[in-house]
């Protein structure tokens, strides 16, 4: 440290004392300091993007090796990773050699960072395989909390095998110990809905002329509510008590309907534009999918219960609509539960559900009876990812079967299609991975176009969701093969620590987001979710409250499909407050269908801004960092040229009129989500 002024005698004495300590301290071993190895600490608190922390070896269980140098001790991890270590002033020094493990042998880049009591004290810069190890040597006297971080350096986490080699603490007092990610109080930001009616849901709704039509008007407020509508096409009926509109989609054209909801506390109205034409999903689909909660344990009874709870919890009143079964409803050739094993198809080739699903049509009927919609899942390959029946060579019959049963949504998941993609028989050796190249684009588009064309021929509106993890830039051709949304990446279930990175990647494809065509970064996993790796029973999700607000804010600003995928029977007030803020959902469901644009402010903070149909803007200020951060939204970044009304959407609070910039302190991994409505300056 530089001391700019002359020192007082007391100060000089202190400095000498300090220097003596330092000199003594440098000879740690001699001065009685004890070495505590990082690899000897409890690594269950280490959070990382892939695999499990390794002691004295790299992530792939090979010797820790950086640029040819082998280290006997250390911790092998994988970006992105964080480890919090409580020092409580007892540690003198931390030393290590960091780098990417040689076994990664790929294009992965990482950055190692160390923060002490919130201040950055080490930054490796970008490192990759072959970069010589960098020495970390930190004086930590008096420090309380240390954070060891490995970031993905902005290119995703593939091949990011990161080693904290030779990592050790020299300790004279209290021993360092790892601690979990800091906890936060789960503050409910969204006020409870009042007793007067409030009509939510999309302002525009697409259907195909002549097909069955079903729409439950999402409405909050004390029941009973009496519904009415002006301008409803004659082929449709509105049930005044339930608010369910049903019938046959009208002739091609646009119909402006005024919906009205009345109870003893008041009346609400809202315009809904029904567009009978070729495009479905004019706003991002919303609902629930069973996968991350129940995996291969799903049953008909659980699906019905989810539909019941979608109504009783109020989720349907803000726009959640689809109740979707994922993998494992069919039969499998082999599975550990015999009730899911059997003949895949009947003599006519029709798919046979397993013993937990007595009647797929009755299940869809039940979901429809609530005014909700039913979704189903299968793969274009011979088998699904979990090894259940796929549609390969039965595509036409399956499309018809799903329509006959009454399903409104199909998720079509690539899974084993690789085995047949190049014309090989199922069971032949795996064809080379797509990333290794060698396949024509048509190999990727073919199965999806085949099913897309078949779905269009059904006398039913079936929203079509592609799941192939973003291969071959699916966003560029998804709409052309008839899809309404497509997963842009692998399973988020494995990457919950990376919601910001996954969102930033997804937002890169914003040019392809528009009504009827949505980039899908996967489901919302908050509340109680299953353990993605072990297929274990639901448990509280690992995300902090602020991370959960950020999650929904990102999905809302990106116009991503919002499918909750946690355990519906375990919804608590906090989770519902995150899922069910109608002002946040309105940003997601805005008819313009725009995915927000990203402005990166610095390593930690970024802004996502989205234009809304009424001329206002939605803006999120996000903090990816591990400590609170200041951020400012300058008006030009939001596309504003004059004063605007500022509203905090999570708190549903007006913050007055401002000409910018808007400044906020963002909590760790947190967000401020705003709606900015331009006002004419007073003359
Ligand atoms: C994965 C898919 C998941 C889930 C799972 C079912 O490929 O990405 O969302 O559907 O298969 O086995």
Residues 487 and 435 occupy one common structural domain? yes
HSE-up (13 A, CA, CB side) for residue 160: 24
15 occurs within a structural domain: no
551 occurs within a structural domain: yes
602 occurs within a structural domain: yes
What are the beta bridge partners of residue 82?
47, 149
Any idea which residue has 């093969």 for tokens? 481
SS3 283: coil
Residues 511 and 456 occupy one common structural domain? yes
Residue 467: CB within 6 Å of ligand 1? yes
Residue nearest atom 11 of ligand 1, based on CA coordinates: 385
Residue 314 CA to ligand 1 centre (angstroms): 27
Residues 393 and 487 occupy one common structural domain? yes
401 occurs within a structural domain: yes
Q: How do residues 241-255 score in pLDDT, each as one tens digit?
A: 999 999 999 999 999
| Helical H segments across 204-344, by residue range | 291-294, 300-312
Q: For residue 170, what is the domain's CATH number?
A: 2.60.120.1060
Distances from the Cα of 581 to the Cα of 315, 343, 484, angstroms: 10, 45, 25
Residue 525: CB within 6 Å of ligand 1? no
In eight-state DSSP terms, residue 332 is B
Residues 605 and 582 occupy one common structural domain? no
Provide the residue range defining the domain that includes 385: 286-589
Query: Does the active-site annotation cover 160?
Result: no
Average pLDDT of the chain? Answer: 92
Count structural domains, the chain: 4
Q: How do residues 527-564 score in pLDDT, each as one tens digit?
A: 999 875 555 889 999 899 999 999 999 999 999 999 99
Decide which of 540, 563, 589 is a domain's last residue.
Answer: 589
What are the beta bridge partners of residue 129?
none
Of ligand 1's listed atoms, the one at least distance from the Cα of 415 is: 7
CB neighbours of 502 closer than 8 A, spacing ≥ 6?
A: 489, 492, 495, 521, 522
Residues 45 and 154 occupy one common structural domain? yes
Residues 382 and 467 occupy one common structural domain? yes
19 occurs within a structural domain: no
Neighbours of 1 (CB within 10 A): 2
Residue 347 CA to ligand 1 centre (angstroms): 28
Distances from the Cα of 372 to the Cα of 105, 288, 618, angstroms: 49, 11, 29
Residues 250 and 292 occupy one common structural domain? no
What are the beta bridge partners of residue 246?
214, 237
Q: For residue 610, what is the domain's CATH number?
A: 2.60.40.1180
pTM for this model (two decimals)? 0.89
SS3 27: coil
pLDDT for the residue 30: 45
Of ligand 1's listed atoms, the one at least distance from the Cα of 413 is: 7
Residue 411 CA to ligand 1 centre (angstroms): 9
Taking every pair of Cα atoms in the chain, the longest distance, rounded to a whole number of angstroms, is: 98
Residue 491: CB within 6 Å of ligand 1? yes
**Over 80: is that where the pLDDT of 13 sits?**
no
Decide which of 276, 299, 316 is a domain's last residue.
Answer: 276
The DSSP result for 131-154, as a single string, is PPPEEEEEE-TT--EEEEEEE-TT
Using CA atoms, how far apart are residues 338 and 672, in angstroms rounded to an integer? Answer: 49
Using CA atoms, how far apart are residues 57 and 65, in angstroms rounded to an integer? Answer: 8
450-473 exposure pattern, b = at least 16 Cβ within 10 A, e = fewer? bbbebbeebebbbbbbbbbbbbbe
Q: For residue 300, what is the domain's CATH number?
A: 3.20.20.70
SS3 196: coil
Residue 416 CA to ligand 1 centre (angstroms): 11
Of ligand 1's listed atoms, the one at least distance from the Cα of 487 is: 8
pLDDT for the residue 31: 60
pLDDT for the residue 681: 54
Cis amide leading into 224 (omega within 30): yes
* Pairing label, strands 198-199, 119-128: unpaired
Tokens of 117: 């009591």
Of ligand 1's listed atoms, the one at least distance from the Cα of 411 is: 10
pLDDT for the residue 15: 43
HSE-up (13 A, CA, CB side) for residue 521: 28
Residue nearest atom 1 of ligand 1, based on CA coordinates: 385
Using CA atoms, how far apart are residues 167 and 39, in angstroms rounded to an integer? Answer: 8
**Confidence class for position 38, pLDDT limits 50, 70, 90:** very high
Of ligand 1's listed atoms, the one at least distance from the Cα of 467 is: 8
pLDDT for the residue 97: 98
Q: For residue 252, what is the domain's CATH number?
A: 2.60.40.10
For residues 600-609, average pLDDT: 95
Using CA atoms, how far apart are residues 44 and 180, in angstroms rounded to an integer? Answer: 8
From 609, 579, 581, 583, select the one nearest 594 (Cα to Cα): 609
Distances from the Cα of 390 to the Cα of 238, 414, 426, angstroms: 38, 10, 11
What are the beta bridge partners of residue 148?
83, 114
Strands (E), 481-613: 485-487, 518-520, 528-531, 536-540, 562-564, 597-600, 605-611
For 387: left if phi > 0, alpha if psi spans -120 to 50, otherwise beta; the answer is left
Stated as kind and residue range, the H or E segment containing 263 is strand 253-263
Any idea which residue has 């082929």 for tokens? 235
pLDDT for the residue 497: 78
653 occurs within a structural domain: yes
pLDDT for the residue 2: 29
From 674, 546, 662, 540, select the one nearest 618 (Cα to Cα): 674
Residues 519 and 634 occupy one common structural domain? no
Query: Does the active-site annotation cover 603?
Result: no
* Contact criterion met (CB below 8 Å) for 78 and 162: yes
Neighbours of 12 (CB within 10 A): 12
Residue 571 CA to ligand 1 centre (angstroms): 23
Q: Among 289, 330, 413, 486, which is best to mutate for testing ligand 1, by the most ligand atoms less than 8 A from CB?
A: 413
136 occurs within a structural domain: yes
pLDDT for the residue 585: 98
Using CA atoms, how far apart are residues 420 and 442, in angstroms rounded to an integer? Answer: 14
The DSSP result for 370-415, as a single string, is TT-EEEEEE-SSSB-TTS-B--TT-HHHHHHHHHHHT--EEEEE-G
Residue 466: CB within 6 Å of ligand 1? no
Decide which of 241, 258, 276 is a domain's last residue.
Answer: 276
- Interhelix angle 300-312/360-369, rounded to 10 degrees, is 10
Residue 116: CB within 6 Å of ligand 1? no
Residues 243 and 296 occupy one common structural domain? no
Nearest 5°: the CA angle 123, 126, 128 is 130
**Confidence class for position 496, pLDDT limits 50, 70, 90:** confident
**Confidence class for position 434, pLDDT limits 50, 70, 90:** very low
368 occurs within a structural domain: yes
**Over 60: is that where the pLDDT of 5 sits?**
no
Residues 296 and 390 occupy one common structural domain? yes
Q: Among 326, 411, 529, which is best to mutate for testing ligand 1, by the most ligand atoms less than 8 A from CB?
A: 326
pLDDT for the residue 533: 57
What are the beta bridge partners of residue 199?
219
| Helical H segments across 459-498, by residue range | none
In eight-state DSSP terms, residue 8 is P
Residues 449 and 543 occupy one common structural domain? yes
Of ligand 1's listed atoms, the one at least distance from the Cα of 491 is: 8
Catalytic residue among 300, 413, 520, 590: 413
Residue 394 CA to ligand 1 centre (angstroms): 20
Residues 105 and 50 occupy one common structural domain? yes
Q: Among 297, 383, 385, which is best to mutate for testing ligand 1, by the most ligand atoms less than 8 A from CB?
A: 385
Residue 413 CA to ligand 1 centre (angstroms): 7
Catalytic residue among 117, 139, 308, 491: 491
Residue 349 CA to ligand 1 centre (angstroms): 24
pLDDT for the residue 181: 82
Using CA atoms, how far apart are residues 157 and 49, in angstroms rounded to an integer? Answer: 7
**Over 80: is that where the pLDDT of 483 sits?**
yes
Residue with the larger pLDDT of the pair 11 and 293: 293
From 493, 488, 498, select the one nearest 150 (Cα to Cα): 498
Distances from the Cα of 95 to the Cα of 36, 92, 135, 231, 426, angstroms: 11, 10, 7, 73, 53
Percentage of residues in the chain having pLDDT higher than 70:
92
Q: Among 290, 291, 297, 414, which is best to mutate for testing ligand 1, by the most ligand atoms less than 8 A from CB?
A: 291
Residue 486: CB within 6 Å of ligand 1? no
567-604 exposure pattern, b = at least 16 Cβ within 10 A, e = fewer? bbeebeebbbbbbbbbbbbbbbbbbebbbbbbbebeeb
Residue 413: CB within 6 Å of ligand 1? yes
Q: Could you report how far apart the first and last alpha carbons of the chain are, in Å?
A: 56
Using CA atoms, how far apart are residues 167 and 254, in angstroms rounded to an integer? Answer: 66
Of ligand 1's listed atoms, the one at least distance from the Cα of 377 is: 10
Tokens of 354: 């397993």
Residue 489 CA to ligand 1 centre (angstroms): 11
Using CA atoms, how far apart are residues 635 and 61, in angstroms rounded to an integer? Answer: 50
């Amino acid at each position: 440290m530089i001391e700019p002024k002359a020192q007082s005698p007391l100060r000089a004495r202190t400095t000498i004392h300090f220097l003596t300590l330092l000199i003594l301290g440098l000879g740690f071993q001699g001065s009685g300091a004890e070495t505590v190895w990082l690899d000897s600490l409890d690594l269950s608190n280490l959070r990382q993007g892939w695999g499990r922390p390794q002691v004295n070896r790299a992530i792939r269980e090979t010797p820790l090796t950086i640029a040819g140098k082998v280290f006997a001790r250390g911790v092998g991890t994988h970006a992105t990773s964080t480890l919090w270590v409580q020092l409580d002033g007892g540690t003198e020094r931390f030393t290590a050699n960091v780098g990417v493990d040689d076994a990664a042998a790929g294009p992965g880049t990482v950055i190692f960072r160390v923060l002490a009591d919130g201040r950055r004290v080490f930054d490796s810069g970008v490192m990759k395989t072959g970069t010589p190890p960098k020495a970390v040597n930190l004086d930590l006297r008096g420090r309380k909390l240390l954070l060891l971080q490995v970031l993905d350096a902005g290119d995703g986490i593939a091949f990011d095998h990161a080693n904290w080699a030779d990592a050790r603490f020299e300790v004279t007092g209290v021993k360092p110990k790892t601690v979990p990610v800091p906890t936060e109080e789960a503050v409910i930001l969204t006020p409870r809905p009042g007793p007067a009616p409030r009509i939510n849901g999309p302002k525009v709704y697409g259907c195909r002329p002549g097909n069955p039509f079903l729409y439950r008007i999402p409405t909050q407020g004390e029941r009973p509510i009496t519904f009415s509508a002006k301008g409803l096409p004659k082929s449709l009926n509105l049930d005044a008590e339930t608010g369910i509109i049903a019938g046959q989609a009208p002739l091609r054209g646009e119909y402006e309907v005024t919906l009205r909801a009345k109870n003893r506390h008041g009346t609400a109205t809202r315009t809904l534009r029904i567009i009978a034409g070729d495009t479905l999903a004019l706003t991002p689909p919303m609902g629930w999918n069973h996968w991350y909660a129940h995996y291969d344990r799903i049953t008909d009874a659980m699906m019905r219960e989810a539909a019941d709870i979608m109504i009783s919890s109020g989720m349907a009143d803000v726009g959640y609509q689809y109740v979707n079964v994922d993998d494992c409803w069919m039969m499998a050739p082999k599975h550990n539960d015999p009730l899911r094993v059997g003949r895949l198809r009947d003599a006519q080739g029709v798919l046979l559900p397993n013993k937990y699903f007595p009647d797929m049509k009755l299940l869809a009927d039940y979901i429809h009876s609530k005014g909700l919609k039913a979704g189903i899942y299968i793969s274009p390959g011979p088998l699904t990812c979990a090894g259940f029946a796929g549609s390969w060579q039965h595509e036409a019959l399956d499309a018809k079967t799903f329509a006959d049963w009454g399903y409104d949504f199909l998720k079509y998941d690539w899974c084993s299609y690789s085995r047949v993609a190049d014309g090989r028989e199922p069971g032949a050796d795996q064809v080379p991975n797509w990333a290794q190249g060698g396949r024509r684009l048509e190999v990727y588009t073919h199965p999806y176009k085949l099913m897309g064309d078949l779905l269009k021929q059904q006398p039913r509106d079936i929203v079509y969701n592609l799941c192939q993890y973003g291969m071959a830039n699916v966003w560029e051709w998804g709409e052309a093969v008839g899809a309404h949304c497509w997963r842009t990446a692998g399973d988020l279930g494995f990457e919950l620590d990376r919601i910001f990175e996954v969102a930033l990647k997804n937002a890169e494809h914003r040019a392809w987001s528009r009504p009827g065509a949505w980039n899908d970064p996967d489901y919302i996993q908050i509340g109680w979710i299953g353990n993605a790796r072990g297929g274990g029973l639901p448990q509280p999700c690992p995300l902090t409250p602020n991370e959960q607000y950020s999650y929904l804010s990102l999905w809302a600003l990106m116009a991503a499909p919002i499918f909750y995928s946690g355990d519906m029977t375990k919804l608590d007030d906090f989770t519902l407050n995150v899922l069910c803020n109608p002002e946040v959902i309105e940003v997601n469901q805005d008819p313009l269908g725009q995915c927000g644009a990203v402005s990166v402010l610095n390593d930690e903070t970024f802004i996502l801004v989205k234009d809304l149909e009424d001329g206002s803007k939605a803006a999120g200020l996000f903090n990816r960092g591990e400590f609170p951060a200041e951020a400012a939204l300058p008006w030009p970044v939001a596309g504003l040229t004059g004063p605007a009304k500022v509203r905090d959407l999570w708190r549903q609070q007006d913050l007055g009129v401002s000409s910018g910039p808007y400044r906020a302190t963002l909590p760790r991994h947190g967000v401020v989500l705003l709606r900015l409505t331009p006002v004419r300056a007073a003359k």
